[in-house]
Each structure stands twice: as C-alpha cells, then as structure tokens.
Amino acid sequence: MRADARKNRDHLLAVAGAAIAEQGVEVSLRDIARRAEVGLATLLRHFPTREALLEALLRTSFDELTGRARELETSSSPEDALVRWLHDCVVWTTEYRGVTVLMAAAIEDTESALHASCVTLRAAGARLLARAQEAGTARSDIDGADVFALVAMLAWLGDQPSLAPRADRLFGVVASAILTR
Amino acid sequence: MRADARKNRDHLLAVAGAAIAEQGVEVSLRDIARRAEVGLATLLRHFPTREALLEALLRTSFDELTGRARELETSSSPEDALVRWLHDCVVWTTEYRGVTVLMAAAIEDTESALHASCVTLRAAGARLLARAQEAGTARSDIDGADVFALVAMLAWLGDQPSLAPRADRLFGVVASAILTR
DNA sequence: CATATATTCGGATCAGCGATCCACTTATAT
DNA sequence: ATATAAGTGGATCGCTGATCCGAATATATG
C-alpha cells in the first residue's frame, strides 16, 4: 500500500472511531469523510461497506474479548468466568452504540466483513458456557448461540436511551436465569 | 373530514398494513404511497410521521393487548397471567417487524404519536407484575418498566433473523427468571 | 535527477429517502 | 349553479450511500 493511502486509511479509522463514539455506528459516512477532510469515495474505497469500516475499527476489541475469555477460563470458577465475560461483552458494546444489530446480522451473513469476528466471539462464549455446564452451575438446555443472543439482547437494551437505565438490573436477572444456583 | 379524504386515509392504512407485513415498519413511505396510487404528500398529510401511521395501524392491537391483560387478571393465577400476557405481547410484535425500536423510543418521547399507547401497555404489564409480586410468585426487585424492557428485548430478538430461532427458548429462560419458583 | 506508470484521490453524478411548498382539482354547502 | 373550503400530488429541497472517471501524485526505473 502506498504511503499516502496508508496515512489516509489510518486517519479515517481514527476519525471514524471518534464519530461513532459520539453518534453511534449509524453515523453518516459522508460526515466521517468530511471530518477526515477526504472525499467520500476515498473512504468507500478503503472500506467498501460500513461493516468493513467497523471490522477494522473493532478488530482489536474483538481480540481482547476472546483473549479475556481464555484468561477467565483458567483464573475463575466456571460460573464466575461465564458471568464476568458476558458482562464484559455487554459493557464493551456500550462504546459502539448500535453495533449489536450489525453483529446480529453479520453472524449469519458469511459475506459480511464482521462475520468471522462474530463467529469467534460466539465460540468463546460457548466454551465458557460448556465449562459451567460441565461443572453443573449453568442450565444445560441452552447453547452458545443462545448465549450470543442473550448478550445481544442486553447490549441492544443498553443502546435504547429509554431502556438503558434498566440494563444493569436486567443483566443480573438474565445472569441468574442462566445459572442453576 | 371530506368523503374522498376518508377513503384515501382508509386505503392508505390498508396498503400500509400489507407493506409493513412484508417489509417491516421501516418500509419506504414513498413505496406505500405508490402502492396506494397516491402522492407522497397525501400520505404525509394524513400521517405526518411514520409513528403517526403506525399508531393508527396498531391502535386496535394495543387495545386488544391491554384488554387481554384485564381479562387474564381475573381468569388466571397471577404468575400464569403475567407470563401468558408477556408471551402475547412478544408474539404480537412478530407481526410488525421492527416496531420494538420505535416503541422503545416512543415511551420516553411525549411528542411521539406512539407515546400514549406505549405507556398504557407498560401500565398493564405493571399491574400484572404487581399482582404476581403480591402473591409472592414474581421477584420483587423489578418493576413495570423492567417488564416493558424485557418484552422489548425478546421482541427485538424475534426481529433479528439470525437470532429469532432462539426466541422461544429464551422467552422461557427470561420467564423463569421473573418467577420466584 | 528526470521521467513513466501505476496508484490514489475526490468532485460530480445517480437513485433513493422523508419533508415541504403551492398551483391545481374537487367535494360540498349555500 | 356557484362559491369556497378541503384535498391533492408534482416539483423541489437536503440528505443518504454508491459509482464513475479525469486529475493529481507517490514511487520505481532509466
């Protein structure tokens, strides 16, 4: 990649991160391009879709979350590990208002730039769930896809201004439903 | 209202219902107007916002749901009444893909045409919850707004094609979390 | 260093959206 | 039959993301 292109790409990512933090993932791509003092076409060549832009922006976060899952797998009791990781996931999404809908769409769309990351995340959750289930502390009638859906639900809740104040309490309610104690 | 206007209004409602059933509540208003063989301006005069159109379209459903709540209040045990009504609410939203987001936005926006209906719905749920709480069969650390949020979460889940297959099972999980048995 | 060329850029354009304006039509009351 | 109030919808605005292509430029080569 040419040096000037690399510079534009990096700059766009930085600006996009700021814009999304302010306005959520549905922020106008034109706005991002304007704020980066770059043509819209330039943004769209580097990141042909909104998903592609997000994938580049969230790659680090995704890696951190899967790493966190591995870490908890050895450092905590199965039930604590599961609940803490779910909490980490939900908290993380609050930084990217609106990302949940895109992730839900991506996990079954193999063409989406976010697909692989979402599948990896779901697998990490499934491992933690299986561990708790083997220990007998998580209900056995749910699977990794259910956990992914539950996280998505709670994350979506946090995205809705009117419902967000309930997010913490309802996380507890849902967590208590997953555990068998 | 002039007779021709009334006719247009009714026709628009019928067409809008069909269009929304096919494409969800985010269907293009221009499309609805086109299918009704009417100018976009005409649709927008009868229903100045998407919320206003939905309000007219869903008024009957809203009334049915609140009526159903009253009915269950006398015909079923407190816990059955609560769970069945929640289920009715979630099932109902599946007919109007995407309506959950608008309802979540409307419940705190007193300007929204959907506001009153949402508040009424939340109150109906709060009554059923209180009844179950008094009977000691629902956890006491949640309130009507929490129930509204839980229904919204589950309804949203049903709107996401990739997560919808889990909706039934997770309804059960959430329901079991509300009840204290 | 000068030049060739492959890459990158972004203004211009397109079709779509909801919102608004206003000249025109039409139902209805007198 | 006519006056008038009510209703209509084409045209236009600013916005969105997508695409095209002539212009600008970084870089490799002579």
Binary contact (A149, B166; C-beta < 8 A): yes
* Residues on chain B touching A146 (C-beta within 8 angstroms): 166, 169-170, 173
Is the model's pLDDT at A104 over the cut of 90?
yes
- Give per-10-residue mean pLDDT for chain B (181 aa): 96 98 98 98 98 97 97 97 98 97 97 97 98 98 98 98 98 97 70
Is the model's pLDDT at A181 over the cut of 80?
no
pLDDT at B70: 97
pLDDT at B50: 98
3-state secondary structure B18-30: HHHHHHCCCCCHH
The rounded distance, in Å, linking the Cα atoms of A71 and A67 is 6
| pTM as predicted | 0.96
The rounded distance, in Å, linking the Cα atoms of A163 and B41 is 34
pLDDT at A166: 98
Chain B residues 123-162 with a CB less than 8 Å from chain A: 139, 141-142, 145-146, 148-150, 152-154, 156-157, 160-162
* Averaged pLDDT, A17-41: 98
The rounded distance, in Å, linking the Cα atoms of A85 and A66 is 9
pLDDT at B69: 98
- Which tens digits make up the pLDDT trace of A84-95? 999 999 999 999
A-chain residue closest to B181, CA distance: A177
